[in-house]
Amino acid sequence: MSLQDAAETAACRTEEIMIDAIAQLLEGCGHIAVGVLSPIPGSAALLTRSRSGARVSIIGSDHPDFRTDGGVDLFDSAGQGRIDAFFLSGGQIDGAANINLTGLGDYPQMDVRWSGAFGSAYLYFLVPRVILFRAEHTRRIFVPKVDFISAPGTSPPNVYRPGGPYALVTSLCVMRFLKETGRFRLQSLHPGVTLEEVRDNTGFDFDARETPAVTPLPDRSTLSLIRGVVARDIAGPYPEFAKSVLGYMPA
């Protein structure tokens, strides 16, 4: 790597590291669906498209290549096994990959109510590769046990469930979810992050090697794609993200 390339990759933002890390988890996917409020996963899906030609459906996009008829189209496609990857987040996520999108406190008289799960549980059961994500990695989000299970991470053996959690990507690290143990395993730490920092900011236990791998920085060609064609295409549904994070300025 040249000095210029090294300087450019070293200057990349955490969001760009997350985009590239998610894109690596999407390798081999033919159809990737993205929900609302998901500019980082959406950018990763478009990065995958630029590399492999994968089909990408983005709720809220007016671009003819990515337009989808909202949840109706996604639910129908997922039920027919035509979506390979999807993304979920939550106000709380625990070590069993349970997601809380409902609120805080004791249900039904909760102290805080959120917008709700919509079709998250349905898609969690049917899409083979569900990648969880949160830009914030704190104990406020990653709790020992969620207050309410809006979408369960695991199911009993007699429950038909071709889908489920595949990985978790945050601003600190990448974790994989192991169905056989029902636990997360640390895959890599983002540059400059320590294992102790991740443990201090995670409310649940997870498996990790004594010396974890480091998440690779995006190379120069990847950054060029992210800040170029990906930024241009993600600017439709997420104009502020494209401008403030990826530096996209429309002509």
Kindly report the CATH number assigned to the domain that includes residue 46.
Answer: 3.40.1080.10
The pTM assigned to this predicted structure is 0.94
- Domain enclosing residue 196, as ranges: 3-244
- What's the CA gap between 106 and 129, in Å, rounded? 31
pLDDT above 90 for 8: no
Radius of gyration of the chain (CA): 18
pLDDT in tens, 65-99: 787 776 788 899 999 999 999 999 999 999 999 99
pLDDT of residue 181: 96
Kindly give, in sequence order, each residue whose CB lies less than 8 Å from that of residue 161, ignoring residues fewer than 6 positions away. Answer: 125, 155
- What's the CA gap between 248 and 78, in Å, rounded? 32
Closest CA to 213 of 182, 175, 241: 175
- What's the CA gap between 168 and 208, in Å, rounded? 14
Residue 249 counted as domain residue: no
* Band of residue 3 on the pLDDT scale cut at 50, 70, 90: very low
Name the least confident of 58-72, 135-149, 154-168, 215-229.
Answer: 58-72
CB under 8 Å, gap of 24 or more: what pairs does 36-39 form?
36/60, 37/89, 38/87, 38/89, 38/133, 39/234, 39/237, 39/238, 39/241, 39/242, 39/245
Residue 129 counted as domain residue: yes
Residue 251 counted as domain residue: no
pLDDT of residue 110: 96
- What's the CA gap between 147 and 93, in Å, rounded? 10
Q: pLDDT above 70 covers what percent of the chain? A: 95
pLDDT above 60 for 2: no
Instruction: For the chain, report the end-to-end CA distance as a whole number of angstroms.
Output: 32
* Band of residue 38 on the pLDDT scale cut at 50, 70, 90: very high
Query: How many structural domains are present in the chain?
Result: 1
